[in-house]
Amino acid sequence: MRIHHLNLASMREIDSPQGLPAARAVCHALLIETPASGLVLVETGLGLDDLAKPDEQLDREWTELVGPVLAPAETAVRQVAALGHDPLDVRHIVLTHLDVDHSGGLPDFPHAQVHVMAAELDAALAEAPNRRYRPGHWAHGPNWVTYPGTGTRWLGAEGVRPLTGLPEDFLLVPLDGHTRGHAGVAVNDGERWLLHAGDAYFYHGELSRDPQPHPLMDIVQLDAQVDPERRVSSQERLRSLVHDHGVAVFSAHDPWELSEYAQ
């Protein structure tokens, strides 16, 4: 399998508490070329409709807060094509959750199967439209494949499931608290497990043994959480995956983390 780390949407510039150069927050995504299941996209960032009709597709308050750049070349569909692939070959999309900046690219891949936790889809359909869930992202009727949040134990994490139609190198790992049905997406690259943790944390310093949140991103994360206790326990699980099991964990919006992977 070949794994690409992509930034699907640049957002407001943020300072580094560690003295690294300031950088725009990102939407870290994976595009994975599999031998038998076509292309798999983990996360979809913002899509072409969001950029063409931001007032309709996005929430104005969210846009002002987050400051997305809205560059078509950053969308998943354009980056898939730029890598020499046909967007129709993206047969599977796996989402950590359905927040606006994670589900925006869905309409650009209407034929794909979309894997997500059932609790997340239920919450999004019940609560939309609001600042986080935008019904235009699923108005085309995606081919949803949902998961119940029960499953096996994997490296100390509970409720873990393989993904239907994908090799066993892919797992959905419940990490709720940011939203009702938030999950991480684990991918085995042949040497180690990678885990896209979505918005289960926002800044790499939060996963160190002595956690250091980002002062600005922490405000965003506290404002967005639906269950503080579950969010904190999801972060503890991630620290254990990193420090006890050697899993390469990364999140959605940390630009310094993406630069470590997108070589």
Residues engaged in binding Zn ion (CB under 5 A): 99, 101, 199, 252
**Minimum distance, C-beta of residue 70 to Zn ion, in the bound complex (Å):** 16
At 65, the amino acid letter reads L
Question: By C-beta, is 77 or 252 nearer to Zn ion?
Answer: 252
**Minimum distance, C-beta of residue 205 to Zn ion, in the bound complex (Å):** 18
Instruction: Return d(Cα 5, Cα 30) in angstroms, integer.
Output: 5
* E strands present in the chain: 2-7, 13-14, 23-24, 28-33, 39-42, 90-94, 113-117, 143-147, 152-154, 157-162, 170-174, 183-188, 193-196, 248-250
Instruction: Return d(Cα 49, Cα 204) in angstroms, integer.
Output: 31
**Minimum distance, C-beta of residue 62 to Zn ion, in the bound complex (Å):** 10
Question: By C-beta, is 74 or 99 nearer to Zn ion?
Answer: 99
**Minimum distance, C-beta of residue 102 to Zn ion, in the bound complex (Å):** 6
**Minimum distance, C-beta of residue 232 to Zn ion, in the bound complex (Å):** 18
Q: Which two tokens stand for residue 172?
A: 């959905």
Question: By C-beta, is 38 or 181 nearer to Zn ion?
Answer: 181
Question: By C-beta, is 101 or 176 nearer to Zn ion?
Answer: 101
* Pairing verdict, β 28-33 and 157-162: unpaired
Among all residues, whose Cβ is closest to Zn ion? 199
* E strands present in 47-151: 90-94, 113-117, 143-147
Question: By C-beta, is 46 or 157 nearer to Zn ion?
Answer: 46
Instruction: Return d(Cα 99, Cα 224) in angstroms, integer.
Output: 10
